């Protein structure tokens, strides 16, 4: 029987990023998927990016991943969120053609060297000797591999509910995976039940767009991938409409039929608070007279559209009734009903920050199975798991990890593996302590060299990115050398613009830090013909945040020091004097790899941190 | 093993009373406290919160009869297991029993280590803890009245918690506005925030001013400087109303500086007499002059002593000008009883005679005035040490920046500043841990508290 280096189970966003990252790292990799034609499926909304998520896509991209390229390839509409706010919280979001997205991903997988794809569902995973897993499938064939990445999404014991109807499924119309979950559980991984939901899909032709607000795409956004050179010019619009009193009344009158709020509560999994169903919104925020619905076309030549904002698990007939009370949707035809899906996830604190199991060496899990939500969150986990699975299979001593001080991926993985989660975890900018540093415009500065070190990106692309950074540095240095003095001419120049001039001699760089100064106010003082618009923009961004970042550096250093003190797996914490029983329980449960992660566990006191530090320093070094 | 944190897993022991008191108290804190006391006494079991007599012995030789008190964690001063032994007051007794405890695995406590542990285990706020070394050490009536009030009223903590309630709402709002741009259409209530910032700033400024005064009043030093034989030591004795410094007609009698404390306006002040300044070949005297200069540099107030019979106006003015920018100076001409000669000086002087007492009361009054001007206001809150003061200063800086950014597009910078202010004030109010601050604060303590 042929033995693969790495087998990835699942062809979703964690699966395809994991498989290709593993292959890029040089491992012979096999993807097992229940259905080749749904590889890369956008199961929920046809959209990539958004707050913090767009940063993740760019991080995946700098590590040579697929998501950014697929999103640019299939985009039909772009928007920059938070445009009126500072660049650190700008976020790009695209609407995508579902079919194009999937076919792009599929083509990438089939053209990736060292990667094979096979369609079958997995029945069990057996850990044989060291670095040997036997994967048995429903068609009776077994596969051997050194390391395995499970990226099964919402398929593990998935249960779909609409109204009173409940049935086993991984997504609507696709079978759930039943044996796999109990197999992972038997390894000692703790299982918990989560829930998420999706709205009904509507027939485009049945909608009246004249009564809705049009939201045009924006052509001056930043494409997701550094390899996409041109921005999409002709874009497809989205539309906005709103629920009203009548909609809310219909939902309230039928709430007893809800599997979550109704008389027969059947759904028990914990759902995401930040992505509430329309029932949630009406029950919990009853004072709001209207809720926004975004009508998102699912393709260039869309037959169906995705009404974002009305995820629901009410019976299909009720769905139709309340939807038809909304302006523009009076004659809407539902093509697929909305539903809630419950699924098994595994407690991510039992994973290392490489996403390898702390219980079974060589066994990795990535994506929704770890209690996260979102394509982008899944993608970055897949990538990290894929690279590490490949490294281990190749007997490499290196590990590929992301740091929360330099990437959103690091924040995500550090959070879930360090603290766990009780609801589907979604990334927000506010989860990052250093978000003024984790920006869309400086992904290369943060992560390029790591990507080069692990051969995840082509030398040519890396060189091009380095050139961009160098140009930015040159411009910043020019700006710090060029000084302006408050003489008459200058004062007049600013008086015209109604801006208070500098009080004393100051460099252009420092002057630009003032929140009331824009580039246009100072460009006359410097010859910038050598620099393109993007370079200038990026340099300005860097300058604006410089002082705030300097202040954070000390904190980042402190965090790094703590991170460098590792807590060995073999350490018997019950023997350490001075630790409370509660702390010892937490150490057993969370198994932190280093002191920084230990300190981040909820309820851990600085006292406990120092006791452990002392012990490690004294006994283990 | 020097860090308070590094030592947390150890059981510490110290004498909680000064040597020579009629009762001595030995206090242990840490997981081994009970075990250690059982091993050096005839007790088989300690009952929490009850006072029992026990016999303490070493190698079967009975050495003391003690009253033992056991406070089981977390209901103790430090939050750890604490055992107190009340013994007889003789210094040797305490030392013997301490040594016994050390031989059984305890380590001697460092300054403030008991209180440090109390804060770490959430038994005490930082503000209270910072007041303790002052409560224990203070000889200063005004400072004591402020400290007692702060310690028992928590005025500062109350102010902070009121503010933080309001502030966390802004924090949450700034977060939701940036994280949910599609759904949250609200804006930051800029005017309201500016108003809150202004009032915070006003309070912090008061605290800063009062705390700086408080800290300065902790180390007030009046240094007497002048040429040799200008009568510094004679005036020094007159001000102290005692024969403290040696006085003679010979130039250069005072070779080294002499310090003595006395009270002005309920504030304890150190008065320093220094060696007179002149050119000399004597090594000893030159060393003395060097020391005089460094005393002058560190003075809160300089008494510039001038002998009108032998001084040149030019050199006096020279000295005055060198220090007047950074220091308060009172110029005093001496020997009024011998000579009424007046030097022509561009600043006012107080003329005194230490022998006749002429002008001494006037000088005292002037000292009182100057010290009162800079005395802390007991009705306003203070922070008790420089580390906490620097947090107050940082927050003031953040307030200023926030006012600048709040109306700009950079809402994420405003959010960051709101967050920083929140973080620093949480540390100040004792609701958030910060390793560095703890270490700095607790190294100021005296043993045993």
- Give pLDDT tens digits for A252-261: 999 999 888 8
Q: Residue A237: which pLDDT band, with cuts at 50, 70 and 90? A: very high
Please tell me whether residue B45 adopts helix, strand or coil conformation: coil
Give residues 87 to 116 of A whose Cβ lies within 8 Å of B.
88-89, 91
Q: Which residues of chain B does A610 touch, with a Cβ-Cβ cutoff of 8 Å?
A: 3, 5-6, 8, 435
Q: Residue A339: which pLDDT band, with cuts at 50, 70 and 90? A: very high
Q: Note whether A574 contacts B: Cβ–Cβ < 8 A.
A: no
Distance of alpha carbon A42 from alpha carbon A375, whole angstroms = 8
Output the six-digit token pair for B90.
């003789």
Q: A82 and B178 in contact by Cβ < 8 A? A: yes
Is B113 within 8 Å of B238 (Cβ atoms)?
Answer: no
Phi, psi dihedral angles at A235 (to 5 degrees): -120, 165
Task: Nearest by CB to B179, from A51, A516, A577: name it.
Answer: A51
Kindly tell me if the per-residue pLDDT of A616 is higher than 50: yes
The DSSP symbol for A88 reads G
| Unique residue bearing structure tokens 């302590």 | A433
User: For testing the chain B interface, which of A93, A294, A515 should be mutated: the one with the most B CBs within 10 Å?
Assistant: A515
Q: Note whether B430 contacts A: Cβ–Cβ < 8 A.
A: no
Q: Which residues of chain B does A52 touch, with a Cβ-Cβ cutoff of 8 Å?
A: 179
Check residue B389 and give its pLDDT: 85
Check residue B313 and give its pLDDT: 78
Q: Quick one: three-class SS letters along B299-349?
A: CCEEEEEECCCCCCHHHHHHHHHHHCCCCEEEEEECCCCCCCCCCCCCCCE
Q: Residue A322: which pLDDT band, with cuts at 50, 70 and 90? A: very high
Complete DSSP assignment for A463-510: HHHHHHHHHHHHHHHHHHH-EE---HHHHHHHHHTT-PPPSS-EEHHH
Strands (E) located in A189-338: 191-198, 201-203, 213-215, 238-242, 292-297, 304-308, 334-336
Q: Residue A468: which pLDDT band, with cuts at 50, 70 and 90? A: very high
Q: Note whether A274 contacts B: Cβ–Cβ < 8 A.
A: yes
Residue A294: closest CA among chain B residues belongs to which residue?
B182
CA distance B110 to chain A (A): 16
CA distance B23 to chain A (A): 31
Residue scoring higher pLDDT (B125 or A536): A536
Output the six-digit token pair for B236.
């020094």
Q: Give the largest CA-CA distance in chain B.
A: 89
Check residue B436 and give its pLDDT: 56
Is A613 within 8 Å of A595 (Cβ atoms)?
Answer: yes
Q: A86 and B8 in contact by Cβ < 8 A? A: no
Distance of alpha carbon B409 from alpha carbon B430, whole angstroms = 33
User: For testing the chain A interface, which of B8, B175, B401, B437 should be mutated: the one with the most A CBs within 10 Å?
Assistant: B8
Length of chain A: 621
Could you give the percent of chain B with pLDDT greater than 90?
A: 19
Q: Residue A11: which pLDDT band, with cuts at 50, 70 and 90? A: very high
Q: Which of A73-77, A124-128, A372-376, A601-605 has the lowest mean pLDDT?
A: A601-605
The DSSP symbol for B10 reads S
Q: Note whether B122 contacts A: Cβ–Cβ < 8 A.
A: yes
pTM: 0.80
Check residue A515 and give its pLDDT: 85
Check residue B447 and give its pLDDT: 36
Residue scoring higher pLDDT (A454 or B310): A454
Residue B175: closest CA among chain A residues belongs to which residue?
A430
- The two beta strands, B221-226 and B301-306, are parallel
Is A511 within 8 Å of A502 (Cβ atoms)?
Answer: yes
Residue A426: closest CA among chain B residues belongs to which residue?
B179
- The two beta strands, A238-242 and A159-162, are unpaired
Question: Can you say whether residue A355 is alpha, beta or left, with left for phi > 0 and alpha for psi between -120 and 50 degrees?
Answer: left
User: Could you read off the pLDDT of A539-593 as tens digits, one per residue?
Assistant: 999 999 999 888 888 778 877 888 888 888 888 888 776 677 778 888 888 888 8
Task: Nearest by CB to A607, from B121, B181, B420: name it.
Answer: B121
Angle at A93 between CA A92 and CA A96, to 5 degrees: 140
Residue A308: closest CA among chain B residues belongs to which residue?
B182
Q: Which residues of chain B does A86 touch, with a Cβ-Cβ cutoff of 8 Å?
A: 409-413
Phi, psi dihedral angles at A353 (to 5 degrees): -80, 5
Mean pLDDT of A488-501: 81
User: Could you read off the pLDDT of A421-452 as tens digits, one per residue?
Assistant: 888 999 988 888 888 999 999 999 999 999 99
Q: A611 and B179 in contact by Cβ < 8 A? A: no
Q: B9 and A85 in contact by Cβ < 8 A? A: no
Check residue B448 and give its pLDDT: 35
- The two beta strands, A201-203 and A304-308, are antiparallel
- How would you write the pLDDT of chain B (449 residues) with one tens digit per residue? 456 766 778 899 998 887 767 888 999 999 899 999 999 999 889 999 989 999 998 887 888 899 999 999 888 988 899 999 999 877 688 888 988 999 999 998 887 788 878 877 777 776 677 666 666 666 666 666 666 666 555 667 777 778 888 888 888 888 888 888 776 666 788 899 999 999 899 989 988 998 888 888 877 889 998 888 888 888 888 888 888 777 887 777 777 888 888 888 777 888 888 888 777 777 877 888 888 888 888 888 999 998 888 777 788 888 888 888 888 899 998 888 887 777 778 888 898 888 888 888 999 999 888 888 888 887 777 877 777 788 899 999 999 999 989 888 888 899 889 888 888 887 777 665 555 555 555 555 433 33
Q: Which residues of chain A does B412 touch, with a Cβ-Cβ cutoff of 8 Å?
A: 85-86, 88-89, 429, 435-436
Distance of alpha carbon A13 from alpha carbon A151, whole angstroms = 8
Distance of alpha carbon B117 from alpha carbon B9, whole angstroms = 11
Q: Which of A62-76, A213-227, B120-134, B298-312 has the lowest mean pLDDT?
A: B120-134
Which positions ≥6 away from A487 have C-beta within 8 Å? none
Output the six-digit token pair for A564.
């460098």
Check residue B449 and give its pLDDT: 36
Is A208 within 8 Å of A331 (Cβ atoms)?
Answer: yes
**Angle formed by the axes of helices A375-393 and A13-24, to 10°?**
30
Q: Note whether B5 contacts A: Cβ–Cβ < 8 A.
A: yes
Q: Note whether B186 contacts A: Cβ–Cβ < 8 A.
A: no
Check residue B441 and give its pLDDT: 55
Check residue B269 and give its pLDDT: 85
Is A65 within 8 Å of A227 (Cβ atoms)?
Answer: no
Q: Note whether A79 contacts B: Cβ–Cβ < 8 A.
A: no
Q: B412 and A52 in contact by Cβ < 8 A? A: no
Check residue B437 and give its pLDDT: 55
Question: Can you say whether residue A317 is alpha, beta or left, with left for phi > 0 and alpha for psi between -120 and 50 degrees?
Answer: alpha
Phi, psi dihedral angles at A126 (to 5 degrees): -120, 125
Check residue A359 and give its pLDDT: 93
Q: Residue A408: which pLDDT band, with cuts at 50, 70 and 90? A: very high
Nearest to A306 by CA among A347, A334, A345: A334
């Amino acid at each position: 029987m042929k033995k693969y280096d790495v087998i990835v189970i699942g062809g979703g966003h964690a699966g395809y990023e994991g498989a290709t990252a593993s292959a890029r790292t040089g491992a012979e990799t096999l993807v097992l998927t229940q259905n080749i034609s749904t590889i890369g499926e956008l199961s929920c909304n046809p959209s990539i990016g958004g707050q913090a998520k767009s940063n993740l896509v760019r991080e995946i991209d700098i590590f040579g991943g697929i998501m950014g390229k697929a999103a640019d390839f299939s985009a039909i509409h772009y928007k920059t969120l938070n445009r009126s706010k500072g660049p650190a919280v700008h976020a790009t979001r695209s609407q995508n053609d579902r079919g194009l997205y999937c076919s792009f991903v599929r083509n990438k997988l089939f053209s990736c060297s060292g990667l094979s794809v096979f369609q079958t569902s997995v029945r069990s995973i057996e850990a044989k000797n060291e670095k040997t897993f036997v994967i048995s499938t429903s068609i009776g064939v077994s596969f051997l591999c050194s390391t395995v990445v499970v990226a099964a999404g919402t398929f593990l014991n998935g249960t779909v509910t609409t109204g009173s109807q409940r049935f086993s499924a991984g997504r609507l119309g696709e079978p759930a995976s039943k044996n796999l979950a109990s197999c992972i559980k038997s390894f000692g991984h703790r299982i918990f039940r989560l829930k998420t939901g999706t709205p009904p899909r509507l027939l485009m032709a049945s909608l009246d767009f004249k009564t809705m607000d049009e939201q045009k795409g924006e052509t001056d956004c930043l494409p997701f991938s550094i390899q996409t050179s041109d921005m999409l010019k002709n874009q497809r619009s989205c539309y906005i409409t709103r629920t009203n009193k009548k909609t809310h009344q219909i939902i309230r009158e039928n709430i007893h039929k809800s599997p979550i709020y109704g008389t027969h509560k059947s759904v028990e999994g914990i759902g995401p608070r930040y992505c509430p169903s329309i029932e949630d919104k009406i029950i919990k925020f009853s004072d709001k007279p209207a809720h926004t619905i975004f009508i998102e076309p699912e393709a260039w030549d869309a037959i169906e559209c995705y009404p974002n904002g009305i995820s629901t698990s009410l019976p299909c007939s009720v769905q139709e009734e309340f939807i038809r009370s909304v302006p523009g949707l009076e004659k809407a035809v539902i093509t697929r009903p909305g539903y809630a899906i419950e699924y098994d996830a595994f407690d991510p604190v039992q994973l290392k920050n490489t996403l390898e199991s702390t219980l079974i060496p060589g066994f990795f899990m990535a994506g929704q199975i770890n209690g996260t939500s979102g394509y982008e969150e899944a993608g970055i986990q897949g990538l990290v798991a894929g690279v590490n699975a490949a490294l281990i299979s190749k007997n490499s001593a290196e590990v590929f990890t992301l740091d929360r001080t330099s990437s959103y991926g690091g924040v995500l993985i550090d959070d879930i593996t360090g603290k766990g989660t009780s609801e589907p975890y979604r990334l927000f900018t506010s989860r990052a302590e250093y978000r003024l540093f984790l920006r869309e415009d400086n992904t290369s500065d943060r992560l390029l060299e790591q990507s080069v070190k692990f051969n995840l990106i082509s030398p040519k692309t890396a060189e091009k990115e380095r050139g961009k950074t160098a140009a930015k540095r040159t411009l910043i240095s020019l700006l710090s050398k060029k000084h302006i003095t408050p003489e008459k001419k200058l004062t007049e120049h600013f008086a015209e613009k109604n801006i208070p001039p500098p009080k004393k001699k100051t460099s252009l760089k420092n002057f630009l830090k003032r929140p009331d100064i824009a580039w246009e106010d100072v460009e006359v003082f410097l010859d910038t013909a050598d620099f393109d618009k993007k370079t200038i923009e990026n340099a300005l961004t860097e300058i604006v945040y410089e002082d705030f970042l300097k202040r954070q550096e000390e904190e980042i250093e402190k965090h790094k020091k703590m991170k460098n003190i590792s807590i060995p797996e073999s350490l018997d914490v019950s023997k350490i004097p001075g630790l409370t029983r509660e702390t010892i329980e937490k150490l057993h449960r969370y198994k932190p790899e280093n002191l920084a992660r230990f300190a981040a566990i909820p309820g851990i006191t600085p006292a406990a941190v120092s006791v452990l530090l002392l012990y490690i320093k004294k006994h283990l070094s | 093993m020097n860090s308070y944190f590094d030592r947390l897993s150890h059981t510490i022991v110290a004498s909680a009373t000064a040597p020579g008191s009629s009762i001595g108290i030995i206090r242990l804190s840490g997981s081994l406290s009970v075990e250690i006391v059982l091993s050096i006494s005839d007790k088989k079991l300690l009952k929490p919160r009850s006072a029992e007599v026990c016999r303490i012995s070493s190698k079967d030789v009975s050495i003391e009869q003690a009253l033992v008190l056991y406070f089981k964690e977390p209901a103790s001063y430090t939050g750890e297991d604490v055992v107190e032994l009340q013994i007889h007051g003789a210094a040797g007794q305490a030392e013997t029993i301490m040594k016994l405890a050390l031989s059984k695995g305890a380590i001697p406590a460092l300054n403030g280590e008991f209180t440090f542990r109390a804060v770490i285990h959430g038994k005490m706020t930082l503000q209270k803890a910072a007041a303790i070394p002052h409560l224990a050490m203070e000889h200063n009536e005004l400072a004591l009245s402020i400290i007692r009030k702060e310690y028992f009223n928590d005025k500062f903590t109350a102010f902070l918690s009121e503010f933080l309630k309001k502030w966390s709402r802004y924090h949450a709002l700034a977060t939701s506005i940036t994280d949910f741009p599609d759904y949250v259409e609200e804006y930051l209530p800029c005017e309201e925030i500016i108003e809150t910032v202004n009032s915070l700033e006003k309070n912090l400024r008061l605290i800063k001013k009062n705390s700086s005064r408080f800290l300065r009043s902790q180390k007030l030093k009046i240094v007497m400087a002048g040429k040799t034989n200008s009568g510094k030591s004679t005036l020094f004795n007159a001000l102290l109303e005692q024969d403290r410094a040696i006085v003679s007609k010979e130039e250069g009698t005072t070779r080294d500086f002499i310090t003595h404390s006395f009270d002005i306006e309920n504030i304890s002040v150190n008065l320093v007499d220094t060696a007179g300044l002149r050119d000399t070949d004597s090594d000893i005297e030159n060393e003395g002059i060097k020391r005089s200069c460094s005393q002058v540099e560190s003075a809160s107030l300089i008494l510039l002593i001038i002998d009108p019979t032998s001084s040149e106006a030019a050199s006096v003015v020279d000295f005055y000008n060198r220090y007047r920018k950074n220091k308060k100076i009172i110029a005093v001409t001496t020997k009024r009883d011998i000579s009424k000669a007046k030097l022509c000086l561009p600043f006012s002087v107080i003329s005194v005679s230490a022998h006749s007492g002429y002008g001494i009361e006037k000088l005292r009054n002037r000292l009182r005035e100057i010290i009162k001007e800079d005395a802390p206001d007991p009705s306003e809150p203070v922070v008790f040490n420089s580390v906490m003061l620097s947090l107050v200063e940082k927050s003031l800086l953040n307030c200023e920046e926030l006012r600048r950014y709040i109306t700009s597009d950079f809402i994420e910078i405003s959010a960051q500043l709101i967050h920083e202010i929140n973080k620093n004030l949480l540390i100040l109010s004792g609701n958030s841990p910060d390793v560095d601050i703890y270490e700095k604060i607790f190294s100021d303590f005296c043993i045993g508290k």
